[in-house]
Structure 1
Amino acid sequence: MKKRKPVLLIDDGDDSKMVIDLLKKNNIDHLLFDIKNFETSCCGNLPTTKVPSVIAPEGIFKDIEQIKNYIKNYKIIQNNDNEEESSASSYW
């Protein structure tokens, strides 16, 4: 089964640029969606949407600290998955 990618809602701000860099540096594959495009492609004006935000299968993360925690936990889960896949006991 293919894993779902998190969606990163961004604007032109420095915080959004920083979060993009954080996700790239941590090899987290994601989809970018500029909040300005919501009006034309999706839902109209969303004045209460906070950016940057990550919408992931694990939840919604609405500020830099929450996104940093998401990245930290994502890496832990990825490491655990990699250890389970390469365990010698998995071949028994």
Structure 2
Amino acid sequence: MATNPTTRKPATEAEENAEAVPETAEARTERARRAPDVAGPPLGDGDEPVTLILSHHLRINGADYLPGAKIRVSPDYARSLRGQGYVART
């Protein structure tokens, strides 16, 4: 049985002295402005989210969406879901 001869490297001084920096309100609002509540992959630069109505149960990133649910997704992901038959005909 082989063993790993390497040892753990000691933590650097910067890592030891690092403190958690609280997120400011401006940073939260900027992040919310950049990434609206979309399911699936994030939006690309300049993309607007697309609203879809699902025809089948779908789980995206651990969240369950039932048939008939309206979700907002990126245009590329919407195209993929339409091709796979997850979008209801309206």
Q: Same fold (TM over 0.5)?
A: no
TM-score by length of structure 2 reads 0.26
Q: Which has the larger radius of gyration?
A: 2
TM-score by length of structure 1 reads 0.26
Greater relative contact order (CA < 8 Å, ≥ 6 in sequence): 1
Higher share of residues assigned helix: 1
